[in-house]
Amino acid sequence: MSNNPKIPVSASRARILGLVVMLLAASILPAFSQEEIHSDSARHEGTKEEKFNVSEVILEHVMDSHTWHFFEGHYGTLFLPVIVRSEERGWEIFSSRNFYNEHHQVQAYNRYTLDHNKILLNEKPVLDLSITKNVLMLFINATLLIVIMFSVAKAYRARPGKAPSGLQSFIEPIVLFVKDEVVKPNIGPRYEKYLPYLLTLFFFILFGNLLGLLPGAANLTGNIAVTVTLAVLTFLLTNLSGNASYWKHIFWTPGVPLPLRVIIMPVEVIGIFTKPFSLMIRLFAAITAGHIVLLSLMCLTFLFRSWAVGFGSSVFVLFITLIELLVAGIQAYVFTLFSSLYIGLAIEEHGGGDHGGEHH
Protein backbone atom coordinates (compact mmCIF):
# COMPACT_ATOMS: atom_id res chain seq x y z
CA MET A 1 0.00 0.00 0.00
CA SER A 2 2.84 2.42 0.80
CA ASN A 3 4.36 2.09 -2.68
CA ASN A 4 1.19 2.70 -4.67
CA PRO A 5 -0.09 6.18 -3.68
CA LYS A 6 2.21 7.94 -6.20
CA ILE A 7 0.41 6.36 -9.15
CA PRO A 8 -3.11 7.63 -8.38
CA VAL A 9 -1.70 11.05 -7.37
CA SER A 10 0.09 11.36 -10.71
CA ALA A 11 -2.96 10.19 -12.59
CA SER A 12 -5.10 12.61 -10.61
CA ARG A 13 -2.83 15.49 -11.54
CA ALA A 14 -2.95 14.50 -15.20
CA ARG A 15 -6.76 14.37 -15.09
CA ILE A 16 -6.90 17.78 -13.39
CA LEU A 17 -4.59 19.29 -16.02
CA GLY A 18 -6.66 17.77 -18.81
CA LEU A 19 -9.85 19.06 -17.22
CA VAL A 20 -8.41 22.58 -16.93
CA VAL A 21 -7.40 22.55 -20.61
CA MET A 22 -10.82 21.30 -21.73
CA LEU A 23 -12.65 23.83 -19.54
CA LEU A 24 -10.50 26.61 -20.94
CA ALA A 25 -11.23 25.51 -24.48
CA ALA A 26 -14.93 25.05 -23.75
CA SER A 27 -15.25 28.49 -22.14
CA ILE A 28 -13.29 30.47 -24.71
CA LEU A 29 -13.66 28.83 -28.12
CA PRO A 30 -17.48 28.92 -28.40
CA ALA A 31 -17.31 32.73 -28.44
CA PHE A 32 -15.92 32.51 -31.96
CA SER A 33 -18.61 30.33 -33.51
CA GLN A 34 -20.98 33.24 -34.01
CA GLU A 35 -18.31 35.26 -35.82
CA GLU A 36 -17.43 32.27 -37.97
CA ILE A 37 -20.94 32.27 -39.44
CA HIS A 38 -21.76 35.98 -39.41
CA SER A 39 -18.97 38.30 -40.55
CA ASP A 40 -19.64 41.99 -41.21
CA SER A 41 -19.78 41.46 -44.95
CA ALA A 42 -22.14 38.49 -44.58
CA ARG A 43 -24.50 40.63 -42.50
CA HIS A 44 -24.80 43.12 -45.36
CA GLU A 45 -24.84 40.65 -48.26
CA GLY A 46 -26.98 37.82 -46.90
CA THR A 47 -27.03 34.86 -44.60
CA LYS A 48 -24.67 32.70 -46.67
CA GLU A 49 -21.73 31.43 -44.64
CA GLU A 50 -18.37 32.75 -45.80
CA LYS A 51 -14.85 31.51 -45.31
CA PHE A 52 -13.57 32.01 -41.77
CA ASN A 53 -11.69 35.33 -41.62
CA VAL A 54 -9.09 35.30 -38.82
CA SER A 55 -8.14 38.99 -39.02
CA GLU A 56 -11.80 40.02 -38.94
CA VAL A 57 -12.53 37.90 -35.87
CA ILE A 58 -9.46 39.21 -34.02
CA LEU A 59 -10.25 42.84 -34.79
CA GLU A 60 -13.87 42.40 -33.68
CA HIS A 61 -12.72 41.08 -30.30
CA VAL A 62 -9.89 43.57 -29.77
CA MET A 63 -11.79 46.70 -30.83
CA ASP A 64 -14.71 48.37 -29.09
CA SER A 65 -18.32 47.55 -29.96
CA HIS A 66 -21.92 48.59 -29.28
CA THR A 67 -22.76 44.99 -28.40
CA TRP A 68 -21.13 42.51 -26.05
CA HIS A 69 -21.11 38.98 -27.42
CA PHE A 70 -20.57 36.17 -24.92
CA PHE A 71 -21.66 32.97 -26.64
CA GLU A 72 -23.73 31.65 -29.53
CA GLY A 73 -27.48 31.81 -29.27
CA HIS A 74 -30.33 34.27 -28.91
CA TYR A 75 -29.38 35.20 -25.34
CA GLY A 76 -25.62 35.21 -25.94
CA THR A 77 -25.39 38.89 -26.90
CA LEU A 78 -25.82 41.90 -24.64
CA PHE A 79 -27.18 44.87 -26.58
CA LEU A 80 -25.91 48.11 -25.05
CA PRO A 81 -27.61 51.54 -24.92
CA VAL A 82 -26.85 53.97 -27.73
CA ILE A 83 -26.60 57.66 -26.76
CA VAL A 84 -26.11 60.00 -29.71
CA ARG A 85 -26.51 63.68 -30.49
CA SER A 86 -26.88 65.35 -33.86
CA GLU A 87 -27.68 68.88 -35.02
CA GLU A 88 -30.72 67.57 -36.85
CA ARG A 89 -32.35 65.64 -34.00
CA GLY A 90 -30.54 66.54 -30.81
CA TRP A 91 -30.13 63.82 -28.15
CA GLU A 92 -31.53 60.33 -28.74
CA ILE A 93 -31.26 57.14 -26.68
CA PHE A 94 -32.13 53.66 -27.92
CA SER A 95 -30.86 50.08 -27.75
CA SER A 96 -28.23 48.79 -30.16
CA ARG A 97 -30.57 45.84 -30.72
CA ASN A 98 -32.32 48.04 -33.30
CA PHE A 99 -29.25 47.78 -35.56
CA TYR A 100 -29.66 44.00 -35.92
CA ASN A 101 -32.43 41.86 -37.37
CA GLU A 102 -33.46 38.39 -36.19
CA HIS A 103 -30.55 36.85 -38.14
CA HIS A 104 -28.07 39.17 -36.41
CA GLN A 105 -27.45 41.09 -39.64
CA VAL A 106 -26.73 44.81 -39.53
CA GLN A 107 -29.60 47.03 -40.59
CA ALA A 108 -30.47 50.73 -40.58
CA TYR A 109 -32.67 52.13 -37.83
CA ASN A 110 -34.60 55.38 -38.09
CA ARG A 111 -32.03 56.61 -40.67
CA TYR A 112 -29.17 55.71 -38.30
CA THR A 113 -26.59 53.28 -39.69
CA LEU A 114 -23.82 51.34 -37.97
CA ASP A 115 -20.63 51.21 -40.04
CA HIS A 116 -17.60 49.52 -38.42
CA ASN A 117 -18.94 50.47 -34.96
CA LYS A 118 -19.39 54.10 -36.01
CA ILE A 119 -22.92 55.51 -35.93
CA LEU A 120 -23.99 57.73 -38.83
CA LEU A 121 -27.20 59.71 -39.39
CA ASN A 122 -27.95 60.15 -43.08
CA GLU A 123 -24.31 59.16 -43.71
CA LYS A 124 -23.07 61.98 -41.46
CA PRO A 125 -21.16 61.36 -38.20
CA VAL A 126 -22.88 62.12 -34.89
CA LEU A 127 -21.64 62.71 -31.35
CA ASP A 128 -21.56 59.20 -29.92
CA LEU A 129 -21.59 58.90 -26.11
CA SER A 130 -22.93 55.37 -26.08
CA ILE A 131 -22.28 52.81 -23.34
CA THR A 132 -20.04 50.59 -25.46
CA LYS A 133 -18.41 47.33 -24.42
CA ASN A 134 -15.26 49.06 -23.18
CA VAL A 135 -17.25 51.73 -21.35
CA LEU A 136 -19.27 49.07 -19.54
CA MET A 137 -16.03 47.22 -18.74
CA LEU A 138 -14.64 50.49 -17.37
CA PHE A 139 -17.64 50.77 -15.02
CA ILE A 140 -17.23 47.15 -13.93
CA ASN A 141 -13.51 47.66 -13.31
CA ALA A 142 -14.08 50.86 -11.33
CA THR A 143 -16.91 49.34 -9.29
CA LEU A 144 -14.84 46.26 -8.45
CA LEU A 145 -11.91 48.47 -7.46
CA ILE A 146 -14.08 50.65 -5.19
CA VAL A 147 -15.78 47.70 -3.50
CA ILE A 148 -12.52 45.85 -2.80
CA MET A 149 -10.62 48.90 -1.56
CA PHE A 150 -13.43 50.08 0.72
CA SER A 151 -13.72 46.55 2.10
CA VAL A 152 -9.98 46.45 2.81
CA ALA A 153 -10.05 49.92 4.38
CA LYS A 154 -12.99 48.90 6.59
CA ALA A 155 -11.14 45.77 7.74
CA TYR A 156 -8.03 47.84 8.47
CA ARG A 157 -9.98 50.30 10.65
CA ALA A 158 -11.80 47.48 12.45
CA ARG A 159 -8.56 45.69 13.40
CA PRO A 160 -5.89 48.39 13.90
CA GLY A 161 -2.44 47.09 14.65
CA LYS A 162 -3.43 43.46 14.08
CA ALA A 163 -2.25 41.05 11.40
CA PRO A 164 -4.31 41.35 8.21
CA SER A 165 -6.72 38.58 7.29
CA GLY A 166 -8.85 37.64 4.31
CA LEU A 167 -8.80 40.04 1.37
CA GLN A 168 -6.79 42.54 3.41
CA SER A 169 -3.89 40.09 3.66
CA PHE A 170 -3.73 39.95 -0.14
CA ILE A 171 -4.11 43.67 -0.92
CA GLU A 172 -2.03 45.18 1.91
CA PRO A 173 1.35 43.68 0.82
CA ILE A 174 0.77 45.02 -2.70
CA VAL A 175 -0.01 48.48 -1.32
CA LEU A 176 3.13 48.42 0.81
CA PHE A 177 5.21 47.24 -2.15
CA VAL A 178 3.98 50.07 -4.38
CA LYS A 179 4.51 52.61 -1.61
CA ASP A 180 7.94 51.49 -0.38
CA GLU A 181 9.52 50.14 -3.58
CA VAL A 182 7.97 52.25 -6.33
CA VAL A 183 6.58 55.59 -5.16
CA LYS A 184 8.73 56.58 -2.19
CA PRO A 185 12.20 55.95 -3.77
CA ASN A 186 11.32 57.86 -6.95
CA ILE A 187 9.41 60.83 -5.53
CA GLY A 188 11.17 61.34 -2.22
CA PRO A 189 9.98 62.81 1.09
CA ARG A 190 6.84 64.37 -0.43
CA TYR A 191 5.57 61.08 -1.83
CA GLU A 192 2.43 60.98 0.36
CA LYS A 193 0.81 63.75 -1.68
CA TYR A 194 0.92 61.62 -4.83
CA LEU A 195 0.47 58.17 -3.29
CA PRO A 196 -3.38 58.01 -3.63
CA TYR A 197 -3.20 58.74 -7.37
CA LEU A 198 -0.39 56.28 -8.01
CA LEU A 199 -2.03 53.49 -6.00
CA THR A 200 -5.29 54.06 -7.86
CA LEU A 201 -3.38 54.04 -11.14
CA PHE A 202 -1.63 50.76 -10.29
CA PHE A 203 -4.74 48.86 -9.19
CA PHE A 204 -6.90 50.25 -12.01
CA ILE A 205 -4.43 48.98 -14.62
CA LEU A 206 -3.88 45.69 -12.78
CA PHE A 207 -7.60 44.93 -12.45
CA GLY A 208 -8.22 45.99 -16.06
CA ASN A 209 -5.43 43.73 -17.31
CA LEU A 210 -6.65 40.74 -15.30
CA LEU A 211 -10.33 41.19 -16.18
CA GLY A 212 -9.39 41.44 -19.85
CA LEU A 213 -8.05 37.88 -19.72
CA LEU A 214 -11.44 36.43 -18.75
CA PRO A 215 -13.34 34.63 -21.53
CA GLY A 216 -15.57 37.08 -23.39
CA ALA A 217 -14.20 40.11 -21.53
CA ALA A 218 -13.58 43.49 -23.14
CA ASN A 219 -10.11 44.73 -24.05
CA LEU A 220 -10.16 47.71 -21.66
CA THR A 221 -6.46 48.48 -21.06
CA GLY A 222 -5.70 47.53 -24.66
CA ASN A 223 -7.92 50.37 -25.85
CA ILE A 224 -5.93 53.40 -26.99
CA ALA A 225 -8.50 55.85 -25.57
CA VAL A 226 -8.04 54.42 -22.06
CA THR A 227 -4.23 54.47 -22.21
CA VAL A 228 -4.30 58.03 -23.60
CA THR A 229 -6.45 59.15 -20.66
CA LEU A 230 -4.13 57.56 -18.11
CA ALA A 231 -1.07 59.07 -19.81
CA VAL A 232 -2.69 62.53 -19.93
CA LEU A 233 -3.49 62.35 -16.21
CA THR A 234 0.17 61.60 -15.45
CA PHE A 235 1.23 64.35 -17.87
CA LEU A 236 -0.97 66.95 -16.15
CA LEU A 237 0.01 65.92 -12.63
CA THR A 238 3.71 65.94 -13.53
CA ASN A 239 3.78 69.34 -15.19
CA LEU A 240 1.37 71.04 -12.79
CA SER A 241 3.59 69.87 -9.92
CA GLY A 242 6.82 70.99 -11.63
CA ASN A 243 8.83 73.52 -9.63
CA ALA A 244 10.94 76.42 -10.92
CA SER A 245 14.02 74.23 -11.14
CA TYR A 246 12.18 71.73 -13.35
CA TRP A 247 11.05 74.36 -15.85
CA LYS A 248 14.43 76.09 -15.76
CA HIS A 249 16.16 72.85 -16.74
CA ILE A 250 13.73 72.48 -19.64
CA PHE A 251 13.77 75.98 -21.13
CA TRP A 252 17.22 77.26 -20.12
CA THR A 253 19.38 74.37 -18.93
CA PRO A 254 21.98 75.68 -16.46
CA GLY A 255 25.59 74.59 -16.45
CA VAL A 256 25.98 74.24 -20.25
CA PRO A 257 27.35 76.70 -22.86
CA LEU A 258 24.89 79.11 -24.45
CA PRO A 259 24.95 77.53 -27.96
CA LEU A 260 24.11 74.14 -26.46
CA ARG A 261 21.19 75.62 -24.53
CA VAL A 262 19.55 76.59 -27.81
CA ILE A 263 19.93 73.01 -29.05
CA ILE A 264 18.91 71.33 -25.78
CA MET A 265 15.76 73.40 -25.20
CA PRO A 266 13.66 71.93 -28.10
CA VAL A 267 14.83 68.45 -27.15
CA GLU A 268 13.68 69.00 -23.55
CA VAL A 269 10.36 70.46 -24.70
CA ILE A 270 9.74 67.47 -26.95
CA GLY A 271 10.64 65.22 -24.01
CA ILE A 272 7.71 66.65 -22.03
CA PHE A 273 5.34 65.04 -24.54
CA THR A 274 7.29 61.89 -25.41
CA LYS A 275 7.22 60.69 -21.79
CA PRO A 276 3.41 60.30 -21.57
CA PHE A 277 3.38 59.10 -25.18
CA SER A 278 5.71 56.24 -24.26
CA LEU A 279 3.46 55.33 -21.31
CA MET A 280 0.44 55.26 -23.60
CA ILE A 281 2.03 53.15 -26.34
CA ARG A 282 3.74 50.69 -23.99
CA LEU A 283 0.56 49.67 -22.17
CA PHE A 284 -1.58 49.67 -25.31
CA ALA A 285 0.90 47.60 -27.36
CA ALA A 286 1.68 45.06 -24.64
CA ILE A 287 -1.94 44.26 -23.77
CA THR A 288 -3.23 44.31 -27.35
CA ALA A 289 -0.38 42.11 -28.56
CA GLY A 290 -1.15 39.55 -25.85
CA HIS A 291 -4.82 39.43 -26.83
CA ILE A 292 -3.94 39.04 -30.52
CA VAL A 293 -1.61 36.12 -29.78
CA LEU A 294 -4.27 34.36 -27.70
CA LEU A 295 -6.98 34.95 -30.30
CA SER A 296 -4.72 33.76 -33.11
CA LEU A 297 -4.07 30.49 -31.32
CA MET A 298 -7.79 30.00 -30.69
CA CYS A 299 -8.60 30.61 -34.35
CA LEU A 300 -6.39 27.68 -35.39
CA THR A 301 -9.22 25.33 -34.40
CA PHE A 302 -11.60 26.91 -36.91
CA LEU A 303 -8.99 27.16 -39.64
CA PHE A 304 -8.02 23.50 -39.51
CA ARG A 305 -11.37 22.16 -38.18
CA SER A 306 -9.48 19.50 -36.27
CA TRP A 307 -9.96 18.19 -32.77
CA ALA A 308 -6.20 17.57 -32.42
CA VAL A 309 -5.34 21.13 -33.48
CA GLY A 310 -8.00 22.46 -31.12
CA PHE A 311 -6.59 20.54 -28.19
CA GLY A 312 -3.00 21.59 -29.05
CA SER A 313 -3.94 25.24 -29.41
CA SER A 314 -5.83 25.08 -26.09
CA VAL A 315 -2.67 23.86 -24.37
CA PHE A 316 -0.70 26.73 -25.87
CA VAL A 317 -3.45 29.17 -24.87
CA LEU A 318 -3.21 27.89 -21.30
CA PHE A 319 0.51 28.62 -21.05
CA ILE A 320 0.28 31.94 -22.91
CA THR A 321 -2.48 32.95 -20.48
CA LEU A 322 -0.14 32.23 -17.55
CA ILE A 323 2.44 34.50 -19.19
CA GLU A 324 -0.24 37.15 -19.71
CA LEU A 325 -1.03 37.04 -15.98
CA LEU A 326 2.59 37.96 -15.35
CA VAL A 327 2.48 40.67 -18.02
CA ALA A 328 -0.66 42.12 -16.41
CA GLY A 329 1.24 42.77 -13.18
CA ILE A 330 4.40 43.96 -14.94
CA GLN A 331 2.56 46.55 -17.05
CA ALA A 332 0.77 47.97 -14.00
CA TYR A 333 4.13 48.13 -12.20
CA VAL A 334 5.96 49.78 -15.14
CA PHE A 335 3.27 52.41 -15.73
CA THR A 336 3.25 53.34 -12.02
CA LEU A 337 7.05 53.27 -11.82
CA PHE A 338 7.58 55.69 -14.70
CA SER A 339 4.75 57.94 -13.52
CA SER A 340 6.45 58.13 -10.11
CA LEU A 341 9.80 58.83 -11.77
CA TYR A 342 8.43 61.66 -13.90
CA ILE A 343 6.69 63.25 -10.92
CA GLY A 344 9.86 62.88 -8.83
CA LEU A 345 11.97 64.64 -11.47
CA ALA A 346 9.41 67.45 -11.70
CA ILE A 347 9.41 68.23 -7.96
CA GLU A 348 13.09 67.54 -7.33
CA GLU A 349 15.15 70.42 -5.96
CA HIS A 350 18.46 70.90 -7.77
CA GLY A 351 20.98 72.26 -5.33
CA GLY A 352 22.94 75.35 -6.41
CA GLY A 353 21.35 75.46 -9.83
CA ASP A 354 23.90 72.97 -11.13
CA HIS A 355 22.69 70.70 -13.90
CA GLY A 356 24.82 67.96 -12.48
CA GLY A 357 23.05 67.97 -9.15
CA GLU A 358 21.90 64.78 -7.45
CA HIS A 359 18.98 62.86 -8.92
CA HIS A 360 16.98 60.06 -7.38
Shared domain for 126 and 139, answered yes or no, is: no
95 and 147 share a domain?
Answer: no
Distance of CA 84 to the CA centre of its chain: 25
Range of the domain at 118: 36-131
Residues 240, 100 within the same domain: no
Helix (H) or strand (E) holding 267: helix 258-304
How many domains in the chain? 2
pTM: 0.80
Per-residue confidence of the chain (360 residues) as pLDDT tens digits?
A: 444 444 343 444 444 444 444 434 434 443 443 343 344 434 444 444 457 777 877 887 788 988 888 776 667 788 999 999 998 889 999 999 999 887 778 889 988 998 888 899 988 899 999 999 999 999 999 999 999 999 999 988 888 878 888 888 899 999 999 999 999 999 989 999 999 999 999 999 999 999 999 888 888 999 999 999 999 999 999 999 999 989 988 888 887 888 888 888 999 999 999 999 999 999 999 999 999 998 888 888 888 888 888 888 889 989 999 999 999 999 999 999 999 999 999 998 765 444 434 444
| Judgement on whether residues 145 and 283 belong to the same structural domain of the protein | yes
* Integer Cα distance of 273 and 238 in angstroms: 11
Q: Using CA atoms, how far apart are residues 122 and 113, in angstroms rounded to an integer?
A: 8
Last residue in a domain, options 109, 131, 153: 131
Residue type, 239: N
User: Domain for residue 16, yes or no?
Assistant: no
Q: Are residues 144 and 97 in the same domain?
A: no
Q: Rounded to the nearest 5°, which phi and psi values hold at 348?
A: -70, 140
Task: Provide the phi-psi class of 341: left if phi over 0, else alpha when psi is between -120 and 50, else beta.
Answer: alpha
DSSP 292-338: HHHHHHHHHHHHHT-HHHHHHHHHHHHHHHHHHHHHHHHHHHHHHHH
In a domain, 183, yes or no: yes
pLDDT tens profile 63-94: 898 888 877 666 778 899 999 999 888 999 99
